[in-house]
Amino acid sequence: MKGYTGRLLRVNLSDGKVSKEAISDSMKENFLGGRGFAIKLLWDEVKHVDPLSEENKIIFSTGPLTGQPLPSSGKMVIASKSPLTGGYGDGNIGTMASVHLRRAGYDVAVVEGKSEKPCYLLIEDDKVQIKDASGLWGKSTFECQDILEERHGKNTGVLLIGPGGENRVRFSVVLSQKGRAGGRPGMGAVMGSKNLKGIVIKGSGTIPVADENKLKAMGKQGYADIMAKGNYEFWKRQGTMQVLDWCHQNACLPTFNFRESVFEHSKQLDGAMLEKIKVDRKGCPLCNMQCGNIVNDASAHPSELDYENVGMLGPNLGMKDLREVALLNRMADELGLDTISLGSCIAFLMEASEKGLIKEKMGWGDFESARKLVADIGRGEGLGKLVAHGVRSAAKEIGRGSEKWAMQVKGLEVSAYNCHACPGMALSFGTSPIGGSHKDAWIISWEISTDRSSYSEDKVKKVIELQRLRGGLFECLTVCRLPWVEVDFGLHWYPEYMEAITGRRFSMEEFDRIGDRVYNLMRAYWIRENGGWDRQADYPPARWFEEAPSSGSLEGVKLDREKYDQMLSWYYELRGWSQQGIPLKETLEQFGLKGVAEELGHNGHV
Ligand code: SF4
């Protein structure tokens, strides 16, 4: 099939071996790329290993749309067995490294083993070298970006970890271009455990496509279509920051560690406030949506804001100064920490302090304490050590009921949507394939605009429909979902782009089927690596069932456990899984995963 380079690059850091392997046609047909390739490789090659051992592998995976001249196609998926959750972990990142990887002649790069000394990879087309990174170790992602660009030229793609990844903080991420981040479930820590500080890629080739003229024309039309959308101008002004006020108005804003759902100082943090102090915008390559809002932070350094980082480091900590939030955000980017998990960890400690469960004093909105904590977490020092493995682990350590307000699913901290009164979004968090992530099924806007309080089977169907599209189609084609989500860019474009690129027509039904195959394999991976499954793992945090907010329009409302359980049962049934959340043998076989069924069956899980 055209549109792929057809090659996988494998680098073993233990023995320095570099190999290039062919990617089979059946791999392309059945898994498309991105997340699809990543889970297939992990299933086949990474079994029962310690995520921070040299036996784990980290996968940098693009898709057939990556790097092509069409909207928002500068993405790659970074995946590994997660040190935060112990299951499948991934995240996408928009970076020139994706484009250069493809131009260098690879769809995927797999890094395995462990280097004796700090190193970075330099990929220049066919030439692949492991370079000494001793002088970079300990430095921030921003400093290293400058150093490596100076050394290897500005026209390169650079992926980096910060001190957070070096110190194996379990929610450390991979950074690029001083603000693009990906790999929430500890992909930075996996790189750190391999002594891999970064990857620099320079590709000089072209990516072969079936019909170049058609693709160029359709790409151009796509960009123009986005700019003509009614809400494009507003998007350019606020990007995802418009969500903060929407969440406050609809009582789903994470406030004081998700205890409340509205914040009295929200106006000081919202999109309108952003517009007053915004100095620039930036974003991923090949995108005309550019959703990174640049502001000068409280120490006058640039910081790139979006809703998730402001939601989690703002109202969730009781912080009311956007420039101070921006400073915490920039520190996180420099250290290479995920801002969602970071916000949850700091909020957890503030609540623990309020309840007298730790001796340190830090009140809600205490900027200086938060600032010190970010540094301590990144460096693995002081109180930072308690939360460096995430809130699930911290709650186990301090006990006394704190697991009820440790806001995580499967070990990954939930992102910035309070679900006291959003059962559909709670199910979306509960069943996300990487833990508490909103990305696979952001049902909340549909839910609030339809029947918010219902726990219906239709809502469950909608979660699955969104998971197929967002977690299946977009993550496998490896293209950003935001044009579709935010400005209503038509889904019909994607089969058309695929046809112009590969020469093969995929229907939306085929994409759905691939999405389901990938979902089943990700679930099988969790089951195999955990040695079984319990439906409690698909529950959102206990706080949403047990404590209602004390203010706002939904004061007193909380989730109903029995009704959630019924939704989960429907979810399993619709997916063809057992009532323990395990894919049935016939379901796996239906998606061509007979070997997977046998492997799970041999272990007594099916
Ligand atoms: S919309 Fe934002 S996240 Fe998506 S590709 Fe564009 S800049 Fe990147």
**How far apart are the C-alpha atoms of 70 and 215, rounded to whole Å?**
8
Confirm or reject: Cβ of 289 under 6 Å from ligand 1.
yes
Neighbouring residues of 346: CB distance < 8 A, sequence distance ≥ 6:
313, 317, 370, 373, 374, 387
Closest to 549 measured CA to CA, from 306, 264, 241: 264
Please choose from 95, 480, 486 the residue to mutate so as to test ligand 1's pocket, defined by most ligand atoms within 8 A of CB. Answer: 480
Closest to 76 measured CA to CA, from 57, 88, 63: 63
CB count within 10 Å of CB 234 equals 14
Cα of 256 from ligand 1 centre, angstroms: 29
pLDDT at 604 over 80: no
Instruction: Read off the pLDDT band of 412 (50, 70, 90).
Output: very high
What are 143's two structure tokens?
A: 């400093």
**How far apart are the C-alpha atoms of 395 and 386, rounded to whole Å?**
9
284-334 per-position pLDDT tens digit: 999 999 999 999 999 999 999 999 999 999 999 999 999 999 999 999 999
What are 46's two structure tokens?
A: 């990474």
Which element (helix H / strand E) includes 464?
helix 457-467
How crowded is the C-beta side of 502, counted as CA atoms within 13 Å?
A: 22
Q: What is the pLDDT of residue 229?
A: 96
pLDDT at 376 over 90: yes
Cα of 552 from ligand 1 centre, angstroms: 32
168-207 per-position pLDDT tens digit: 999 999 999 999 999 999 999 999 999 999 999 999 999 8
Residue with tokens 């910060």: 162
Instruction: Read off the pLDDT band of 601 (50, 70, 90).
Output: confident
**How far apart are the C-alpha atoms of 143 and 153, rounded to whole Å?**
15
**How far apart are the C-alpha atoms of 155 and 157, rounded to whole Å?**
7
What would the 3-class secondary structure string for 245-310 be? HHHHHCCCCCECCCCECCCCCHHHCCHHHHHHHEEEEECCCCCCCCCEEEEECCCCCEEEECHHHH
469-504 per-position pLDDT tens digit: 999 999 999 999 999 999 999 999 999 999 999 999
Q: What is the pLDDT of residue 605?
A: 61
- Closest ligand 1 atom to residue 481 Cα is 4
456-477 per-position pLDDT tens digit: 999 999 999 999 999 999 999 9
Confirm or reject: Cβ of 62 under 6 Å from ligand 1.
no
- State CA 209 to chain mean position distance: 29
Average pLDDT (18-30) is 97
pLDDT at 85 over 80: yes
pLDDT at 76 over 70: yes
pLDDT at 523 over 90: yes
Q: In Å, how far are 223, 228, 239, 285, 487 from 233, measured between CA atoms?
A: 14, 9, 10, 20, 10
- In degrees and rounded to multiples of 5, residue 12 shows phi and psi of -105, 115
Closest to 91 measured CA to CA, from 73, 79, 103: 79
Confirm or reject: Cβ of 283 under 6 Å from ligand 1.
yes
Closest to 342 measured CA to CA, from 354, 357, 330: 330
Please choose from 70, 227, 287, 439 the residue to mutate so as to test ligand 1's pocket, defined by most ligand atoms within 8 A of CB. Answer: 287
566-585 per-position pLDDT tens digit: 999 999 999 999 999 999 99
Average pLDDT (433-452) is 95
- Closest ligand 1 atom to residue 290 Cα is 7
What is the side-by-side strand order in the sheet with 278-282?
278-282, 292-296, 302-305
**How far apart are the C-alpha atoms of 593 and 476, rounded to whole Å?**
18
DSSP structure string for 60-77: EE--TTTTSSSTT--EEE
What are 291's two structure tokens?
A: 């959703």
Q: What is the pLDDT of residue 208?
A: 86
User: Considering all CA atoms of the chain, what is the largest pairwise distance in Å, rounded to the nearest integer?
Assistant: 66
**How far apart are the C-alpha atoms of 88 and 42, rounded to whole Å?**
8
